[in-house]
Amino acid sequence: MKVLVLGAGQLARMMALAGAPLNIVISAYDVNTDTIVHPLTLQKLGTGLSNAIADAEVITAEFEHIPLPILEQCQQSGKFLPGSEAIQAGGDRRLEKALLARCGVASASYLVINNEADFKQAVSELGSPLIFKSALAGYDGKGQWRLKAPGQADAVWQQMADFLAADAKQAIVAEQFIGFNRELSLVGVRAGSGEVNVYPLTENHHVNGVLSVSLARPVNIMLQQQAEQMFAAIADNLNYVGVLAIEFFEVDGKLLVNEIAPRVHNSGHWTQQGADVCQFANHLRAVTGMPLGNTELLRPTLMINILGEDHVPAAILSIAGLHLHWYGKQKRPGRKMGHINLSADSLAELKARFARLIDLLPEAAFPELEQMLGRVSD
Amino acid sequence: MKVLVLGAGQLARMMALAGAPLNIVISAYDVNTDTIVHPLTLQKLGTGLSNAIADAEVITAEFEHIPLPILEQCQQSGKFLPGSEAIQAGGDRRLEKALLARCGVASASYLVINNEADFKQAVSELGSPLIFKSALAGYDGKGQWRLKAPGQADAVWQQMADFLAADAKQAIVAEQFIGFNRELSLVGVRAGSGEVNVYPLTENHHVNGVLSVSLARPVNIMLQQQAEQMFAAIADNLNYVGVLAIEFFEVDGKLLVNEIAPRVHNSGHWTQQGADVCQFANHLRAVTGMPLGNTELLRPTLMINILGEDHVPAAILSIAGLHLHWYGKQKRPGRKMGHINLSADSLAELKARFARLIDLLPEAAFPELEQMLGRVSD
């Protein structure tokens, strides 16, 4: 089975590794260089996008910031899953917020800002503090502004005005700032038949807007049920096929959707060791029409991102239950270079292993890990 | 880290899949075509063996039937692990039996046969029944003869005489036939430091001389200790680095070594789902000098070979704990095309899943599975 993935980064790479045992052969479209490459070797495969689309049995995507003409070309092939609408909803915060409203799932109140009048209306209607997010191409904390008090309005608007003036396609979405207790995410998979399997809710810790650590552990059933209902509402509305990730804010036991990602997701990397069938295999199973795989938690697992580093102390590999996942990328400051999965049979054992890992990792490159250490308990 | 693997079959492929997350890039030497290929895509990499040896930081092997000049060339590079002596001991039954005798590990009594006088001596000294195995290139039950009673001696010798006449390098090893209770194997890994980690003993069921099913489950400690002592004796004698597999006959609670394989082994494929760190990752960790990985049993796991088939019913993928591993090979009768790993948290649950799997698989292509079903119990 031949699958073309839009995007040639680590998510396509890990799909290739998970797909090979299923006899799924993956090629990847590198949007930056407009070439088709092997997602593992990054060798150019000497074919153009149109030929690759014709040659593939299924087309999918590893990210949502894909030029619209390419999405439309893939959509017209009739092979694109989860399809253009879902990918666009993940890549344009206006569409995303409209989708969430349409599905009736809880989310922060918002207004779309195209000009100063919109901005003033947002400040007046939504109050402060406010958070502003670019409609397009915003991820990992980029393209965000905050208004802590009304007195900052002029200064904040000036930055946003410059941003809007630079790109006619852009807009900004203003949202009420949510004072949340925790950030959680749910990764699940929906088959063409409508069948849905979801992994347990994962608790996430971000540093400077970028995911640092995810923890998958036996879940609070009330929260899991809320999350699953929202997942089903969104996935069914989009007639979604494949893996979908939803990020939530937890506020006093209630979940609000922060954003969705119409793809395999960084907060689901723990499934490679902590679940029976990982998110990459499950995405491929769904889009190629195979039965979905079991998403139960196999053992409590932590995922720690490796950002901007191409080396970690070899000694960490002697910790039982530790698995390194490098992405084979050139080092750049802050770049997602790989991740560590750490598993154990019990939360107590996981905590002990995590403490040992924290001791071995350089703190400058892995800040704030202790904040998650306290969470690893019954 | 660049690793060159001698051999470009499924074992090199699975090393490549396990190595990528460790940033280990694998190229493979296809002995049949004398070309260097990528073990996953099988694309030719446009370099010759000498350049590949020069380019690699470590050289290892996925099989033991490698022409001696190539072994010597690799050995001279100073990068070859586990090294020429170990590979030759696995590929020449004369050297293997001498190694076992030197290490003082129990094994069937044997004599080397080069001519009719040797044959007569073997029948006279070792008695009958006897099993005869070609010294070179014998695997999966090929190159074997049996003498059930002395009256068959002339007929059996005639076949062996023809075989010996055809190849001056060949010899035949005569062994006492062992009436065993079970076939077991131990896969373990030894680091350059001498540190050894072994997986639990695996019970194997062969059909027509080819491995059909392996079962990894909590082990009998007495048997495990015997096996580990033999493993250490052999691995230390060879100053072995990497994964080594030892096949045993169990006779009334005692183990006799049948043969060794100086490489990752079919009876260790269950480690991909049933152990914390799989045999492929552990082999690569050892030969590249990384810390060895945990070899504890994670959960009881069965491995079922897929022989001569390039298709299985998709419905088997809906069994929890089931993982398909295709090798991407062209279909040929009897060829190892892939394997199924089946895991569960308990032996009772594993048995239930196995029974469901047996119902779904075509019996003609998967014979004698029921014989292992009875073994899956406490």
ipTM rounded to 2 decimals: 0.95
Helix axes A84-91, A68-76, angle to 10 degrees: 160
pLDDT in tens, B106-138: 999 999 999 999 999 999 999 889 999 999 976
Domain assignment of residue A93, yes or no:
no
Domain assignment of residue B60, yes or no:
yes
Interface test with B, best of A318, A325, A342, A357 (most B CBs within 10 A): A318
- Pairs from B79-85 (Cβ < 8 Å, separation ≥ 24): B79/B53, B81/B192, B81/B241, B81/B242, B81/B286, B81/B287, B82/B238, B82/B240, B82/B241, B82/B242, B82/B244, B82/B262, B82/B287, B83/B238, B83/B239, B83/B241, B85/B238
Assess whether A209 and A333 both reside in one domain: yes
pLDDT in tens, A18-52: 999 999 999 999 999 999 999 999 999 988 999 99
Q: Do A276 and B21 touch (CB under 8 A)?
A: no
Interface test with B, best of A1, A294, A327, A330 (most B CBs within 10 A): A294
Shortest distance, CA B77 to any CA of chain A (angstroms): 25
Domain assignment of residue B96, yes or no:
no
Say whether pLDDT at A257 is over 70: yes
Rounded CA separation A52/A32 (Å):
16
Q: Do B315 and A291 touch (CB under 8 A)?
A: yes
User: Each residue's pLDDT tens digit in chain B (378 positions)?
Assistant: 999 999 999 999 999 999 999 999 999 999 999 999 999 999 999 889 999 999 999 999 999 999 999 999 999 999 999 999 999 999 999 999 999 999 999 999 999 999 999 999 999 999 889 999 999 976 565 688 999 988 899 999 999 999 999 888 999 999 999 999 999 999 999 999 999 999 999 999 999 889 999 999 999 999 999 999 999 999 999 999 999 999 999 999 999 999 999 999 999 999 999 999 999 999 999 999 999 999 999 999 999 999 999 999 999 999 999 999 999 999 999 999 999 999 999 999 999 999 999 999 999 999 999 988 988 987
Q: Which residues of B touch A321 (CB under 8 A)?
A: 276, 294
Say whether pLDDT at A378 is over 90: no
Nearest CA to A260 among A97, A83, A16, A47? A97
Assess whether A241 and A336 both reside in one domain: yes
Q: Which residues of A touch B317 (CB under 8 A)?
A: 285, 290-291, 293
- A346 CB near a chain B CB, below 8 Å? no
Assess whether A255 and A345 both reside in one domain: yes
The residue written with tokens 């400040």 in the block is A123
- A20 CB near a chain B CB, below 8 Å? yes
**Residues of the domain holding A19:** 2-80
Q: What is the pTM of this model?
A: 0.96
Assess whether A310 and A254 both reside in one domain: yes
Counts of helices then strands in chain B (DSSP H, E): 12, 17
For residue A374, the tally of other CB atoms under 10 A from its CB is 8
Assess whether A167 and A273 both reside in one domain: no
User: Predicted confidence band at A140 (pLDDT cuts at 50, 70, 90)?
Assistant: low
What's the CATH code of the domain at A150?
3.30.1490.20
CB contact set of B57 (below 8 Å; sequence gap of 6+): B1, B2, B3, B79, B288
pLDDT in tens, B144-179: 899 998 889 999 999 999 999 988 899 999 999 999
What's the CATH code of the domain at B14?
3.40.50.20
Residue B378 has a pLDDT of 75
What's the CATH code of the domain at A289?
3.30.470.20
Residue A357 has a pLDDT of 98
β-strand partners of B19: none
Domain assignment of residue A96, yes or no:
no
Q: Do B20 and A17 touch (CB under 8 A)?
A: yes
Burial tier of A364 (Cβ tally within 10 Å: 0-12, 13-18, 19+):
exposed
Nearest CA to A193 among A245, A246, A235, A244? A235
Last residue of a domain, one of A129, A160, A176: A176
β-strand partners of B204: B183, B214
CB contact set of B270 (below 8 Å; sequence gap of 6+): B202, B214, B215, B216, B301, B302, B303, B341
- Residue of chain A whose alpha carbon sits nearest to that of B298: A345
- A44 CB near a chain B CB, below 8 Å? no
pLDDT in tens, A276-324: 999 999 999 999 999 999 999 999 999 999 999 999 999 999 999 999 9
Last residue of a domain, one of B176, B199, B222: B176
Q: Do A17 and B21 touch (CB under 8 A)?
A: yes
For residue A346, the tally of other CB atoms under 10 A from its CB is 11
Q: First-to-last CA distance in chain A?
A: 43
- B20 CB near a chain A CB, below 8 Å? yes
Domain assignment of residue A187, yes or no:
yes
Residue B267 identity (one-letter amino acid) = S
Assess whether B322 and B285 both reside in one domain: yes
List all residues of chain B from 309 to 338 with a beta carbon under 8 Å from chain A: 314-315, 317-318, 320-321, 323-326, 328, 338
Domain assignment of residue B88, yes or no:
no
Domain assignment of residue A97, yes or no:
no
Assess whether B162 and B217 both reside in one domain: no
Q: Is the dihedral of CA A331, A320, B290, B19 positive or negative?
A: negative
Assess whether B242 and B259 both reside in one domain: yes
Residue B112 has a pLDDT of 97
Q: Which residues of B touch A341 (CB under 8 A)?
A: none
User: Predicted confidence band at A139 (pLDDT cuts at 50, 70, 90)?
Assistant: low
Strands (E), chain A: 2-6, 25-30, 35-37, 58-61, 110-113, 130-134, 144-147, 172-176, 182-190, 196-198, 202-207, 210-216, 242-251, 254-261, 301-307, 322-326, 336-343
Assess whether A292 and A352 both reside in one domain: yes
Q: Which residues of B touch A314 (CB under 8 A)?
A: 290-291
Domain assignment of residue B51, yes or no:
yes
Assess whether B268 and B136 both reside in one domain: no
Interface test with A, best of B27, B38, B269, B276 (most A CBs within 10 A): B276
Q: Do B291 and A20 touch (CB under 8 A)?
A: no
List all residues of chain A from 94 to 153 with a beta carbon under 8 Å from chain B: none
Last residue of a domain, one of B141, B176, B211: B176
Residue B323 has a pLDDT of 98
Residue B212 has a pLDDT of 97
Assess whether B71 and B202 both reside in one domain: no
Assess whether A253 and A323 both reside in one domain: yes
User: Domain count of chain A?
Assistant: 3
